[in-house]
Amino acid sequence: MSTDPTARQEDPQSTARATRTEGTRGTNPATGAEDPQNTNRATGTKDPQNTAPATRAKDLRNTAPATRAKDPQNTAPATRTNGPLGTDLRLAWLLTRGSDRREWWRVGLTALGAALATGFALAAAALASLQGQYAVSLGAGLLDQPGTRSGVIVTLLLLLVPVLGFLGQCARIGAVHRDRRLAALRLAGATPAQVRRISALETGLACLLGSVLTTSAAVVVMLTGWQNPPALAWAGVVVTGLGVPVLGAVAGAVALRRVVASPLGRVRRVRPRSGRASGLLFAAAVLFLAASAPVAVALTSRGGPQRTPAYGGPPLIVAGLLVVVGAAAVGLVGGTARVTGRVLARRARTAATLIAAERLREDPWAAARTHAAVLLVTVVGTAYVGVRQAMLADLHATRADRLGASMSYYETGLDLTALAILVALAIALGGLAVGTVESLAARRRGLAAQTAAGVPRSVLGRALLLETALPLGPALLLGGAGGMAIGVCYARLTADGAPVMPYAALLVPLGVYAACLLAAATSLPLLRRSVRPAELRYT
């Protein structure tokens, strides 16, 4: 690696001390005396590897003046008031500030994801705090009954799954550079706990930003639009508003196990192995959601008539089924990606297919990770179309019997579900686009070298699209089949006569496939910029 050896040798030495002896940063006036201003500017725009030492040097310089004039021995106790968290916070801030634009994209998108997550969670919590009958002006009476309310809560919680996928993609932005930077911190003598705290703070603060935005909006809504929110609703706001950033911070810390374990983890140019950590995190988060759904449903069903528990039954069963089908589909994506990659790599006739296939074979789980949320949405969407068809047919058939029941009540319910699915699809596609862009940005130097060697940009672009298209095809087929099965089962259960096959549902996987390709194609303009020869200069 081409890390400037002098930079590493002279300044981390002092940084090590500065970061390790919490709060006694002023004890090494030597580094404070030299002026790293120029080095900062020079390296700041280039290799992030150099940025880390440079910004750390700046940190020392900024804090040194206060103590530099006096005897360091005496000032040490005075500065100790600034605890370890303060040091880490400052480092986290400096590292983020000194890094390139991508880091800000990560912060912004993470905050956006956190804001969405907080929003859905808050809405679910607020609904769960209601009990019994209510007259809510929103949602055509769907929120009035505990039974339908349970359905809405479960839907909101399900919407969190694509949001989680989106957040997972956001965390990968600039991951290679961030890992290298944190590894450099470790080399400089930071303890594993410190590095973990710093990265937890980096993620946690971004999540806090999003959560604060949504929570304050929610508080305003609750104060103005809700006559008398129960204490439980307020408790839900507090727990959600704080829980999102805390969980974000924990996820940020867990995802970094490897770097923390070895300071050389990313400094050496080792082949990146797909992190198990992120998959486990995603699974854990989904399990957490699965566990919180019954609680929320039970909460909102309190104090109802005797057979209350049954209210929450159907939505929970459907949700559970969806998660199971989704998980199976994700597992299958990984498997099919590996097989597709292996088979195609051997048979590929064109350069684009060969490149795409070898990338799949190398890291099949990357595809599964990226496509998990999309798959879940496909399953839900396909099932939804089937269920909708059966339900409407059922309603029309029995309309005469139930003159009192308003058709719009059911239709609004169905339409709102459709809206939720579309929102979920949009979020999932956003995650997919972010993932594609990141994978491009991470290997832009290599791509620039390919272009310099005469590999046409169109070939690289096709390889990029094929990377999305190849594993997604079979996966969507499976997801579509699963969703179709759910729809048909539902139709079987409800219809008296021979159920109509919901062929329209077949359009859903096709539509999702096209949308995914479009989302992946949004990265093509970036490809044009990534292959500029200027990229050849940086490692």
Partner 1 sequence: MSSKGDTSVPLLEGRDLGKAYGRAHGRTEALRGASLRLDAGEILAVTGTSGSGKSTLLHCLAGIVRPDTGAVSYRGERLDQLPEKRLSELRRTEFGVVFQFGQLIPELTALDNVALPLLLAGVSRAQAHTRAGEWLERFGVRGQSELRPGEMSGGQAQRTALARALVTGPKAVFADEPTGALDSLASEQVMTALVHTARESGTAILLVTHDTQVAAYADRELRMADGAVAGAEVTA
Q: Which residues bind partner 1 (CB under 8 A)?
A: 269-271, 347-351, 354-355, 358-359, 361-362, 443, 445-446, 449-457, 459, 533-534, 536-537, 539
d(CA 37, CA 98): 13
Q: Please choose, from the candidates 189, 222, 211, the residue with its C-alpha nearest in 3D space to the C-alpha of residue 113.
A: 211
* Of 51 and 451, CB closest to partner 1: 451
* Of 76 and 351, CB closest to partner 1: 351
The least CB distance from residue 69 to partner 1, in Å, is: 35
The least CB distance from residue 41 to partner 1, in Å, is: 10
* Of 61 and 180, CB closest to partner 1: 180
d(CA 504, CA 440): 36
The helix or strand, by DSSP H or E, that contains position 409, with its residue range, turns out to be: helix 407-442
Backbone CA torsion sign across 346, 350, 353, 357 = positive
d(CA 225, CA 241): 19
Q: What is the DSSP letter of 499?
A: P
The least CB distance from residue 53 to partner 1, in Å, is: 20
The least CB distance from residue 453 to partner 1, in Å, is: 5
* Of 199 and 450, CB closest to partner 1: 450
Backbone CA torsion sign across 63, 66, 71, 75 = negative
* Of 108 and 272, CB closest to partner 1: 272
3-class secondary structure, 522: coil
Relative orientation angle of helices 146-172 and 309-347, to the nearest 10 degrees: 30
The least CB distance from residue 14 to partner 1, in Å, is: 28
* Of 489 and 536, CB closest to partner 1: 536
Q: Please choose, from the candidates 433, 407, 446, the residue with its C-alpha nearest in 3D space to the C-alpha of residue 531.
A: 446
d(CA 366, CA 268): 21
141 conformational bin, left if phi > 0, alpha if psi -120 to 50, beta if neither: left
* Of 345 and 387, CB closest to partner 1: 345
The least CB distance from residue 529 to partner 1, in Å, is: 14
The least CB distance from residue 440 to partner 1, in Å, is: 14
